[in-house]
Amino acid sequence: MKTPLAVLLSLASALAAAGPIPFEVYIKLHKGMSEAELVSQAGAPDYSSNGPTVKTKDANAVVETSTRSLSWLANDAVPYTTTVTLSNGVVVDISRDKKL
């Protein structure tokens, strides 16, 4: 019983694999949108990496800034890799590179 369930789960996760962002979706992405809004429009990324977390002292408090990058990799149908950089969960940079 456990073996068919494991196979079914692995097939489901393979089918749910992320793909590249189509142009129709890419043009709707913008700086200032939240990570939740980004993922709801573009889908789950193929790759994500956490960048540095920087702490700075303000006059009244310590401010912590975290950076994260999400990437949607190119394939044969859509030959563009899209990388979005987030700072504290908000989009600050969007880049799109053509696969060679």
Architecture, CATH, for domain 19-98: 2-Layer Sandwich (3.30)
pLDDT for the residue numbered 96: 97
pLDDT of res. 12: 43
Q: List the chain domain ranges.
A: 19-98
Task: Give the global pTM.
Answer: 0.77
pLDDT confidence of residue 9? 45
Q: Are 62 and 55 in contact (CB under 8 A)?
A: yes
pLDDT along the chain (100 residues), means of 10: 49 58 97 98 97 89 94 95 97 94
Contacts (Cβ under 8 Å, ≥6 apart) of 12: none
**What confidence score (pLDDT) does residue 17 get?**
60
